Structure 1
């Protein structure tokens, strides 16, 4: 750290990032400002910054940004072939999803099921976003609302999915069956998130309607008649998605598999819709280009978080809280470990769970903490971090929803985080 100051000061750029998120500032500019400050505070070499950014291009966040851009490219194909219009017609006229509340619930259900089956938030929502957005846009949902819905519903799919990496990890650490996990750990936390997501989405919709809106999306009138090409392309789209998603579930593939699902589906759908290969790739590139800003933001966000982590800021937070572990109270243990995981440890959710189990596992046995309570602590500690901070998962869902409204997203995330932490503390009273 610069001037030998405490690593805790490395959290200043993160706090500044959150503060600036509530201002009228471009998200990429926000990250640029904060990454520069973080680099200065942690004494990063100016000459090495090019190499740092080059490594960021191949990072997890860089991959997520690429997936999101491909999803936008798929959306362009769906528009060019008439698939989007046909799906909108079926969605709004045939099925009857014709109100804001129904659209929110339908999107939530779709996201929950697909994320639970695929076990990946970014990959699953990147697949459904290009299909869902034109439908909800016609009904009037705003990008801000969609971002909250995709985040809240999608994350809960990871809480209950039988092959979700986090579910498998917690089951292994707590030695419980899947049925015990779902009933005692996953579903209660997911239910809290579902309720908050629905009502917060309604609130955000009310506040942002007329302020933010989707542009360049299809509208379907009462006189709409689907063409033979659009029907054929729609059939190919759903068949291709079903086969590739089913294959992915069978192989238990992660986020990177979404790249193949989106790419193959886009090309085959375009061809089935009568587009030439040249036109197919023109549309994909044109659609992807609209979200280049998000990709750049993700590339910059990787070193931003790495600088803070490598400075020892999160470790310093844990050390600051360590005296609280001297208490033998199960309640205080639950509160402190949960807060440590949610606000003190960053990284992949499964890695967080393993780290927490390594740090506090012996105390679990000494305090007679039940397996389901410990599983709940691990789930909330590792997964709710994505709601507490505007990091990769939150930014990714905003990108998929085409939203730049960080203010409402942060409010939504904090609400979910507080509710889940309170639930865990209350849950501790019952062992």
Structure 2
């Protein structure tokens, strides 16, 4: 979970092999071996539902196999199937593991997940600082010797032809990916922080962490990330609007505003130029995110039920435009084009299931509050934070594609296991 967002750690071995691929494969083998060795095939209800979704998606993707008509499309489909098995395999086994382990283990898993994204952000800050101050490429020193791949910080452009505009991509490979992934710890940890008791040992560290993550979020200049963060904040405003008016929230937010304002004032013309560029939706960088939606009617008119086949948008796009290796720039475009109406409807049911599990966690929190159980001060904020993070991720993927990454399935496992883990802890004597 700690390294699940470290996308730059990959190698070209008969295709791209990421560190997450390796670690997930090892985890699945060890999990299955342990269960078989002990003759234990039991799964919790939540894990069984996740397994049901795995089988349902597998049927849709296997049915889409018959729409493939070239060696290239078959190769893309095979790559997509491998990722699918690893992603949903982790979801099923991850939920099964979390549901049987202690509450402390769940907190450790959540800390590893959020901590990994925070480490990614820290790498991005160092990466940005070195690029701005001395023009050095941090990846050349730390990543390229491991992967033999040339990577580096994103260069958005240049102001005045001389001042380069850097956007930290950290270990994600794309500043927008970093920006979208950062919304999860920001939204999950904020309500937990706001509900911590005065004097709690984690109150100040969490405040500092949230300030740091928000500054890095702004540094990515990710429009999709900020759009998702804004929508997630609106969700949190429903139950926590009173907390948003208190010093515990306003002081850290004020620190971010003051820091960002000081940096902008120091280079006002530079940042005004960058801001105009990032808010211009008619620019060349923004237009592909809107143009890809135009492919949906054409594809659905010819392959409405099952689409073109898993992971085959790039093949279709190259056939139409002649541009190779071009992604759909939207998770929803990818889902509709590649899996048709059936695949899109199935994924909608999957997302609704995650929301329902988070709803069950919120109801558990209310029940614990009614009986005066102090555990309510943890489960309700966590459930609301994950609900906001899920909304933010869904919105951000309107114009980007991160829900096909490992981190989303790690988040989904933590979310759907939440009511089972806390419910068992509440029943414990």
TM-score (norm 2): 0.31
Question: Of Structure 1 and Structure 2, which has the larger fraction of its residues in helix?
Answer: 1
